[in-house]
Structure formats: structure tokens, C-alpha cells
Amino acid sequence: MSDLLGRLRGRGWRMTSQRRVVAEVLAGDHVHLTADEVHARAAERLPEISRAAVYNILGELGRLGEVAEVSAHGRAKRYDPNAHHPHQHLVCEGCGTIRDVHPTGDPMAALPAEDRFGFTVTEAEVVYRGLCPACLPGPGGP
């Protein structure tokens, strides 16, 4: 589960009502909202929050390393508050649903030295793609 609000408080981040509501909206497991979704949910709690404020706060959280930007091919950028918990993503190519997954093994070790071309590899990003149960053809799907 995202501990974003606690991390921000621990950093001494000035907790305005707008910042607080954005952090609260981003709390939870498997949260991968677009900026517009964050704005819509934040506005339910704080009607005066502007779209620009949400975009600015998300940008600041990204620069701080507190949220990660996740992209799905051809879809709006999404924001992941679980930036401090190592995980990969499972993306539905039908509806765009994104889930956090924790596969076993070290993706850094999966790239042999001869395939690194002299690079010093600092991180690996693995994205699993497929269709969720709702998007699969047949019973339960379209």
C-alpha cells in the first residue's frame, strides 16, 4: 500500500489542503491514475482545486521521486504512488488497467554482461502486457 502521505509528512513537505487531497487521492494499492482522474477525485473532496494545481503537484511529486510516471502505449500518463516499493507493472492492452506485480528474480541479473555493451546498468523496467479477464474474448469478456 502507498504510504505517500506519511513519506511527505516525514520529509517536512508543506501540507497545504491541495497537496494533502492529491496525496490522499493517490493512496492505496494498484493506484495508477491519470492527472485528470486525480483532479476529478480531488475536486470531489476539495471543489476549489484547479486542474493546474493538480498538474503542478503531480510534477513536484515526480521530481521528488515520490510518485513514478507510468506510460501505457497510446494512453495518458499515469501516476504510481508506490515509487518506494520495488515492483513491475502488468498492463491490459484492451482497457489500459495497470496492476502492480512482484515477480520473483532480479531483472538486473537477467541481462548477461555480454548484452550490456559496456553499460553500467542502474535499473531495469519490466512491463508485462496482455488482456485482463474483462477484455478477454469469450465468457466474461467482450
Same domain assignment for residues 94 and 74: no
On the 0-12 / 13-18 / 19+ scale of CB atoms within 10 A, 33 is buried
Structural domain total, the chain: 2
Q: Identify the CATH number of the domain in which residue 116 sits.
A: 3.30.1490.190
- pLDDT reading at 1 higher than 50: no
Same domain assignment for residues 29 and 71: yes
Residue 108: per-residue pLDDT: 80
Domain boundary (43, 58, 80) is at: 80
14-45 pLDDT, tens digit per residue, is 999 999 999 999 987 668 899 999 999 999 99
Range of the domain at 114: 88-130
Same domain assignment for residues 24 and 61: yes
Signed CA dihedral, 50, 45, 29, 26: sign only: positive
Residue 139: per-residue pLDDT: 65
Q: Is residue 142 part of a domain?
A: no
Amino acid in position 142: P
Averaged pLDDT score across all residues of the chain: 87
Same domain assignment for residues 60 and 126: no
With cut-offs at 50, 70 and 90, classify the pLDDT of residue 7: confident
* Separation CA 34–CA 38 (nearest Å): 6
pTM above 0.85, yes or no: no
Mean pLDDT is lowest, of 3-7, 38-42, 45-49, for 3-7
Q: Identify the CATH number of the domain in which residue 74 sits.
A: 1.10.10.10
SS (H, E, C) 82-126: CCCCCCEEEEECCCCCEEEECCCCCCCCCCCHHHCCCCCCCCCCC
Q: Is residue 106 part of a domain?
A: yes
Same domain assignment for residues 71 and 19: yes
Residue 103: per-residue pLDDT: 83
Same domain assignment for residues 41 and 100: no
